[in-house]
Amino acid sequence: MKTLSLTPALWLVLVAVGCGPLESSPRSGLPAPDDAAAATPVASVAPALPPEPKNDDFLYLEEVTGEKALGFARAHNAVSEKALSAEPGFEALQTRLFSIYSSKERIPAPRIHNESLRNFWTDSEHPRGLLRQTTFADYKKPKPTWTTLIDVDALGKAENESFVYHGATCLYPQSTRCLVSLSKGGGDAAIVREFDVEKKAFVAGGFTLPEAKSRIFWKDENTVYVATDFGAGSLTKAGYPRVVKEWKRGTPLTAAVMIFEVKDTDVSTSCQREFDHDRKRDFCLRAIDFENSELFWRRDEKNVRIDKPDDADADIWDDELLLRLRSDWIAGSPAVTYKKGSLLATSLEAFVKGDRQFQVLFEPTKNSSLSEFNGTKTRLFLNVLTDVKNQVIAFSRKPGDKSKSRWVGVPLKESAGSVSVEPFDRHKSDDVFLWLEDFTLPPSLALWNPTSGKREPLKQNPSFFESGNLAVNQYFATSKDGTKIPYFEIGRKDRKGMVPTLLEAYGGFEISLSPGYSPSVGAAWLERGGVYVQANLRGGGEYGPEWHEAAMKHQRQNAYDDLAAVAEDLVKRGVTTPKTLGVMGASNGGLLTSVMLTQRPELFGAIVSKVPLTDMQRFHKLLAGASWMSEYGDPDKAEDWAALSKFSPFHNVKRGAKYPPMFFTTSTKDDRVHPGHARKMVAKLDALGHTPLYYENIEGGHGGAADIKQRAYVDALVYTFLATRLGL
């Protein structure tokens, strides 16, 4: 809702093909056949198998930039690139995808900053991007006139660095001084530099931070709150900041004064000043894990804890405290039970003084959950998912009313599968940018006034693939325990018989997959006659906290059973066959597909795991992995490892198993999910006689690519692999 969400979860993506199994020992030492030997049967001697590899044999692949590890990556890259780039149609697909990603007809996403409208833009001439601005009046023109603020490509060239833009935090209300984050190669860690918008230049002697996973926010023109790597003891075990300091302009970072700290077993922390409804309020967040946090109101140099449930997300709007619950909560006198997944509103001051009277703005049902909420000058906008389709509800307060019924909500009538709102200028207006899209409907942007109901069309994306003959349907598969699992199926209306099908899913961290327009899927898959399926597994947020909890820790197997159930349902319904069904996932979704490789390989004809987790015994020791133990469990605890060991892909690959063709991708610069996960999985598969393909982008971060050129190349490799293996 604000510049920085107050919810910790939102801080929060081979030895060569054709090499064959390892060669066996020759059958030497047998007598040469002669007449006598020919008359006497000779017992055959089985070839000797190579020794079973030990898991520690692959630890060298955890050395991110180790010479031997990078040699492994480059050798496998050469094989994979040679195999896939030589396929007919690869170059054409890469060119097509790059033309889509660099299209100048795309909607420039707008962000209002005082009297200016800013946008970060990439195209063929600027693959790393431009930070630019114009006026809103000019933005509405078919071809706005833009003023460039930062040219990331030119900056990287001038400084001989592979810069990737990671956003900017600007000082309210003028927004002419910004703290710009630039990653070297695309990882989460970034340098920070102060930028003067009026002079279009970085500020000499301004606020500057070296490369780290920093959190930095303005307090005033001469003061910032900074959480970064201050040296020994300043980071959590997950590698994020553990302490926050107040830093004055003109003083060295070493002189900054500590104002807040958390435990090293927590995920992270930060402090920031909220500029809201003519108020200035300071808050500090202790992110314990992805589900639990503590919020502190910094008043008179003291940190006053907001006494909310740890697993409730909190936000502040005007004079109200908003709480989204992750568990049932009994509060108030007389006591009232508030249902998990609900959104509650109350007076912030009254809550701090002990009052526990709330108005329930949203309560989940069996098939609905709260996706997100945003605030404007006088309104709140709730985005609700009902069977994975969006609906927006606009709430307004009765003037002067402080009762439990002061908020009144009116739903927005809209038929698009995906609807989202973004405040135009939350400080001055109730207008919102309204985004609409669906699997076959390109995004459109309008300005919506909720008072008058008027919509002003602003921009429309072109159709990047032919969709006139496509149909979108939703189905429900039955998982192993009887739970109904929704999935969307997109394919040609006139298709006959079973066709190559691509299944994609995520299933974790309470992240929902809703309908969306994907030009890459459309151009590389749907337009060529394939069927695309998006599954909404447990572990996600599609049906609220309960849906998420159903696949956490010891319940994790449910997500894998859900995906298998969708795959089986597609075959049962005659959409495809196991030989022509592929599955793809990234990050936690890459773990998902790697588990499918080891648990249910017979269901698929090809498997793609992008930036995956695979070693669930060491994930908490690698980069940001310690922050995910609330999701997966702690491998150092016997009861948790007992559950993790049953599905950890790295520990469950077997020699002699019949695995479908597989392709793993990662990035050397991914400092969130360690590239060692993919490397080790591939190396172990190699050692066991399998032939996976592997591609490691030397740049790119957790997204797998540092710019749109790299993205087009990697995507072309992936879709070429899927198409050739599944027969598209």
Alpha-carbon span 233 to 243, nearest angstrom: 9
Q: What is the C-alpha to C-alpha distance for residues 471 and 575, in angstroms, rounded to an integer?
A: 13
Phi, psi of 127 (to 5 degrees): -65, -25
Measured in whole angstroms, how far is the alpha carbon of residue 383 from the centre of its chain?
Answer: 19
Q: Is residue 374 within 8 Å of 420, Cβ to Cβ?
A: no
Query: Hey, is 119 helix, strand or coil?
Result: strand
Decide: helix, strand or coil at residue 317: strand
Instruction: Give the CA dihedral 552, 555, 556, 562, nearest 10 degrees.
Output: -110
CA torsion sign, 5 to 8 to 9 to 10? positive
Interstrand relation of 662-667 and 693-697 (parallel, antiparallel or unpaired): parallel
H/E element, 351: helix 348-352
> For residue 715, what are the contacts with CB-CB under 8 A and spacing of at least 6?
97, 520, 524
Please give the C-alpha separations between residue 596 and each of 49, 503, 590, 657, 685, in angstroms, as whole numbers: 26, 12, 10, 13, 15
Catalytic positions, written as ranges: 587, 702
**Strand pairing partners for 196?**
177, 201
- Exposed/middle/buried for residue 402 (C-beta within 10 Å: 0-12, 13-18, 19+): exposed
277 vs 153: CA distance, rounded Å: 38
The type of residue at 204 is: A
Helix 67-85 and helix 676-687, axial crossing angle in degrees, nearest 10: 70
Whole-angstrom distance, CA of residue 247 vs CA of residue 221: 11
